[in-house]
Structure 1
């Protein structure tokens, strides 16, 4: 795909998208060019849904312009391909003893970017990643269906939407005779955690559709547990907004994308030593 859409192989980038503000303009593509855009975004959708969660936000944003692409959207989608060219060695790591997020059988990270997109009615963006025994098995970046009035509401809506998926994986494990499975929701909003746990705060969110109070009922019944995680360690952050290069690389690796180990000099150079031992460098060279 990279060789097909990029003129030269040395065009690279450390970020999949620079920002939604760059997707503006009324200069629509001609039908042949529009078909190329639709083909490329379709390919990127397949990649993001199967192996590359780090481009989910960028591709979801670009997919909104499938019916009326412009020169601006074409530049942005090519920028996403440049990012894949830079990080073409990333592989989704499943299994193994080195996996993170293994404190519980089912762990779901959620995050929301409140009123992030003024071009879409100021609706919030949700980001979700679910792990089963440390393996990323499900991820999603999407625009919420209703308008949240605050950041806490946006987080609460996201949490309610993913409870059903977390419970599905717990029931699946129980069918496999793996008992004592209590899914854990990890989020970086203390306000949302308080609202989800404390029935006395229910009045603050009465105006929200009843379906979004699903999370509170299951927390009170003990079916699911909710925990706080710092923003820097919330891997769902990469699924709901554009990030800088270092943050993108760090969260991409935290989410489960790794460079293949060759066991040679190249891997030795990937570590920087100090007086207390090896510290893995934040970036490695991409494909030549």
Structure 2
């Protein structure tokens, strides 16, 4: 529980591990124990690490959402990860098991976006309450099919997707209202991957540096530009 508190407050770089471990509280296995031991070794080796948060512009916000399909062995649920940033570090993160089973990776991504989007809406409303309207509010995704579903709604759905059209198209409504726009992001630049699945090697180092605020997001996501203009103009472009 101490690790869970730290991962939510100051150490988002091991929030993914905590997202998986907290699903094994009732019936932990020996494999789960080894995961915990490895996590504690990492925490001990990086106990002096400090995260930083900064904003390039108080009117701009970027959200990255990614989901891994059927990665939980016990019930084959997917896992959703998201990061919300204003340039340096992250102001909000999510790494949680999905609440329902999905039949494909695209469907898993679509459900994950619906579950994670409130983590963008709440900071958006908070900033507006402080007098800073978010004019550049962008959601990026690495699944082209999901982007079409988010933008087009039922027009991009076939008969076998009817079971998700009723509950999850509130995201499409917000896009049509001009609340935010959706853009494509290559998988190699999808920082939310860090929150949805285990990442290793150089990619782990790169994503961790951005999430902890040690490197600016533009070092990974090359398309990060914050034009301070009405979001309706961005949609027309």
Tell me, yes or no, whether TM beats 0.5: yes
1:74 is matched with which residue? 33
Q: What does 1:93-112 align with in structure 2 at a 5 Å threshold?
A: 93-95=52-54, 105-112=60-67
Equivalent pairs counted in the alignment come to: 213
SS of residue matched to 1:117: coil
2:184 matches 1:231: no
Q: Which has the larger radius of gyration?
A: 1
Q: Offset of 1:115 from its aligned partner?
A: 1.3
CA distance 1:118–1:167, shift in 2 (3 Å)? same
Any idea what the Cα deviations from partners look like across 1:74-125, whole Å, max 9, x if unmatched? 322111111123333432111276xxxx696221110000111232x21111
CA distance 1:217–1:202, shift in 2 (3 Å)? farther
Q: How many angstroms apart in 1 are the aligned matches of 2:47 and 2:213?
A: 11
Pick the aligned partner of 1:195 from 141, 149, 170. 149
2:175 matches 1:216: no
Q: How many angstroms apart in 1 are the aligned matches of 2:29 and 2:102?
A: 30
CA distance 1:149–1:253, shift in 2 (3 Å)? same
After TM superposition, the structure 1 stretch with the greater mean CA deviation from structure 2, 63-72 or 207-216, is 63-72
2:69 matches 1:114: yes
2:24 matches 1:65: yes
- Of Structure 1 and Structure 2, the greater helix share is in 2
Query: After TM superposition, what 4+ stretches of structure 1 lie above 6 angstroms from structure 2?
Result: none
CA distance 1:103–1:197, shift in 2 (3 Å)? farther
SS of residue matched to 2:42: helix
Once superposed, what is the RMSD of the aligned Cα atoms? 2.3
In the superposition, the TM-score normalised over structure 2's length comes to 0.80
Q: How many angstroms apart in 2 are the aligned matches of 1:166 and 1:206?
A: 26
Pick the aligned partner of 1:56 from 5, 11, 15. 15
Q: How many angstroms apart in 2 are the aligned matches of 1:46 and 1:83?
A: 16
1:150 is matched with which residue? 104
Q: How many angstroms apart in 1 are the aligned matches of 2:98 and 2:165?
A: 13
SS of residue matched to 1:92: coil
Q: Please list every run of 5 or more consecutive structure 1 residues that lacks an aligned counterpart in the other structure.
A: 1-41, 260-288
SS of residue matched to 1:140: strand
Q: How many angstroms apart in 1 are the aligned matches of 2:213 and 2:41?
A: 17
Please say if residues 12 and 212 of structure 2, whose CA atoms lie closer than 8 Å, have aligned partners that are also in contact. Answer: no
